[in-house]
Amino acid sequence: MALGREVFVVDALRTPIGRFGGGLRGVRADDLAAMVIDALLQRNGVVAGGALDPARIDEVIFGCANQAGEDNRNVARMATLLAGLPDSVPAITVNRLCASGMDAVLAGWRRVALGEADVVVCGGVEGMTRAPWVLGKPEDDPARGNQTMYDTALGWRFPNPKLDARFPLEAMGVTAENVATRYGIARHDQDAFALRSHERAIAAWSGGRFAREVIAVTTTRGKQPTTCDRDEGPRADTSLERLARLRPAFAEGGSVTAGNASTLNDGAAALLLVSEAGLRAMGRPAMGKIVGGASAGVDPRFMGMGPVPAVERLFGQVGWTWGDVDLVELNEAFAAQALAVLQHWQIAPERVNLDGGAIALGHPLGMSGARITGAALYALAHHGGRRAIASLCVGVGQGVAIAVEAID
C-alpha cells in the first residue's frame, strides 16, 4: 500500500537479551528503553551539536506488552525523558502483545510516509523478570474470601468469563500443542528446529555479525558493576539428544517442551526512521527502507498461525510474492508454530532466521517485533539479498508482518 513518501531506516540496535533472572534483572524497563534510545541517537549524531538536533525528533514510539509495573503509564514517554531528550519530543506506547515492537515501527513508518513526521525513534522493551504480581480490587467492601493474584510476566490475567464461554483460555504453550496436532508437526522436527536456532545464533556471535547490532548494558546491582554484552540464551552444549530428554511442558504426551519453545526474557531495541529530507539532514546512508506492513486475526486457539494471513495481506499491499523475498525473520514463539507457518508458506529453512531466532536468543515480548525488523535488515547486509519479510504470531490470535528492502 503506497502511503506517499519513502521511509528509510538509518540504524537499528538492541540490548543483549537477558534470560529470566539473568544479567538484566537489575535494570528497570524504562531505563532499558532509555539506554537504547540514547545509544541509537548518539551513534547517529542526533545530539546537541551533532548531525541532527534532538529537538527535530517528531515522535518516539515504543511497544511494550506488560505495562503493569515499572513499565506503566506510557513507558515510551518515561524512557524519552530518561534518555535526556527535550521535553518537546512527544512519545507514545503501543501494545499488541508479542508484536508491540513491530507495531511501534509500523506506526513510525506511517507517520513518516504520510508526511506527519521526518524523524521518528521507534522500538520496544520488555522486562519480564521484573514483571509484578497484581491483585485486583475486590468488588465487595469489605473484601471477603480468597483473592486471586496474577503473575504478569506472561499469560492471561483477570480473564473475562464471557471470553471463557466462547473458547478455552489456553496458555500459549497449549495453543502450540494445538498447532502441532492440527498440522502434524513431529517432536523430532521441533527439536531439530530448536537446535538449528541455537547453532545459528552461536555462529552469528562467533562470526561477529551481532557486533554492530548489540550494545553492552552495565548494571550496578550488587557491590560491583556488571556488564551484559551478549545474549544469554544461545547454548553451545545443546544437542538433539539433550532436547529429546526434556518432558512435554504443557500437555501429557505432548511435543512442546522448554527446549523447543521461546523463553521469558528482558531486553530493548530501537530503530531510527527518517524521510528523505531527514536523511539529507543527517548526511549519512540508510540501512534500508520499510515498504509496508499488515496485521490479521486468527482463532486464538491456533494463535501461532497468525503470520500466514498477515503476510498474505502484506503481499497484497506491496505486490510481492515469495519469489520476490530473499530472507525471512519469523519469530520463534514455539518451534511447532514456526514449522507449521513455514509448511504453509512452502519456503526452505535456509531462508529463515539465518542468525538464530527466539528459541535461542529469547523473546522479550514488547522488544521482539522491533528486534526482528532490525534483524531482517542486518541479515540482508550479512547474507546478501534485497528484500526481506519479518513477522510474528500474537497471543489471543493475531499476526503482524513488515516488508523491508536494502538500499541499492
Residue 398 resides in a domain: yes
pLDDT of residue 1: 52
Q: Active site includes 64?
A: no
CATH label of the domain that carries residue 39 = 3.40.47.10
Strand pairing class (59-63; 119-127): parallel
* 408 pLDDT above the threshold of 80: no
pLDDT of residue 147: 83
Residue 211 resides in a domain: no
* 42 pLDDT above the threshold of 70: yes
Residue 49 resides in a domain: yes
* Residue 259: pLDDT band with limits 50, 70, 90: very high
Alpha-helical (H) ranges within 298-357 are: 307-318, 335-345
pLDDT of residue 70: 94
Residue 241 resides in a domain: no
The catalytic residue among 98, 122, 198, 382 is 98
Q: How far apart are CA 97 and CA 17, in angstroms?
A: 18
pLDDT of residue 222: 67
pLDDT of residue 50: 87
- Give the chain's count of helices (H) and strands (E): 12, 14
Q: Active site includes 98?
A: yes
The number of domains in the chain is 1
Q: Active site includes 363?
A: yes
Residue 408 resides in a domain: no
Domain span at residue 45 reads: 7-131+263-403
pLDDT of residue 145: 79
Supply φ then ψ for residue 41, to 5 degrees: -70, -40
* 223 pLDDT above the threshold of 80: no
Q: How far apart are CA 392 and CA 402, in angstroms?
A: 10
The catalytic residue among 198, 228, 363, 382 is 363
Is residue 351 exposed (0-12), middle (13-18) or buried (19+ Cβ within 10 Å)? buried
* 168 pLDDT above the threshold of 70: yes
Residue 295 resides in a domain: yes
Residue 116 resides in a domain: yes
Residue 269 resides in a domain: yes
